[in-house]
Structure formats: structure tokens, C-alpha cells
Amino acid sequence: MERKIKVLLAKLGLDVHNRGVITVAKELRDAGMEVVYIGNALPEQIVAAASQEDPDLVGVSSLGGAHLSLGQMLIDQAKAAGLLPETVFMIGGVFSPADAQKLKALGFAGVFPPGSGREEIVGFVRQAVAA
């Protein structure tokens, strides 16, 4: 039996908007994955949860503008905790195309601005985890 892909999702920092991450959680679960959603969390809390849950992929949502500041902290702390490079990181939310590039450069393998579709996200998770 194929092991289920396990995904940990979180709202990055104090961002209030959670419609997107709830939508993604449902779509990943509908695609047969195990999803753990921890709500609002700081980078260190996300890293702690990931260390405990041992997911294949960590996805964070940020619509509040702090994607680079907190995103950087998250990746740095994930590296320090030994989660990278095995764990895949993805981020969704509101940020400019220029910032999307910066997020990729930081180490987010998947970057999903507004308008990203289900197939796109689910497809990315499957392919990224398989790699």
C-alpha cells in the first residue's frame, strides 16, 4: 500500500485570512493526502510542529505582507533544525511577482500567488514529494 503524502499547513504569523489555506487543506485531503493544519504559527512553532509531525511537505499561507521577513526566518530555522533539504516547503498568498522570485530563491520550492488552481497545487505537491 502506498504511503500517504503528509502535509503540514500553517498560517504564517498573525495573518487573519484563512480561506485559502482551508481550501488547500481540503483539496489535498480530497487528493488522498494526510493534512495537519496548525492555524496561526510563528516560524519556530511551525518548525517544532514539523519536527514532531515529520511531514513530507510544509505549506504556509501569508496574505499580510510578511512573506519575506517571516519566510526567511522559517527557512533559516528549518535548516537549523535539520528539516531541509528533505522536507519540501511551499508558500501561498499575496505577494508581487518579484517577491515570488525571492521566495523561490529563499528555498520555497512551490510559490502560489492568488489565482493558483487546485490541479496546480496538488500536482506540485505530488511531484515535489516524489522527487
CB of 1 to other proteins, least distance (A): 25
CA–CA gap between residue 21 and residue 33 (Å, rounded) = 15
CB of 131 to other proteins, least distance (A): 26
Burial 99-130 (b: 16+ CB within 10 A, else e): bbebbeebbbbbbbeeebeeeebbebbbebbe
| Interface with other proteins (CB under 8 A) | 11, 13-19, 22-23, 25-26, 35, 37, 39-42, 63-66, 69-70, 73, 94-99, 113-115, 117-118
CA–CA gap between residue 51 and residue 114 (Å, rounded) = 29
Residue with smaller CB distance to other proteins, 2 or 97: 97
Residue with smaller CB distance to other proteins, 22 or 85: 22
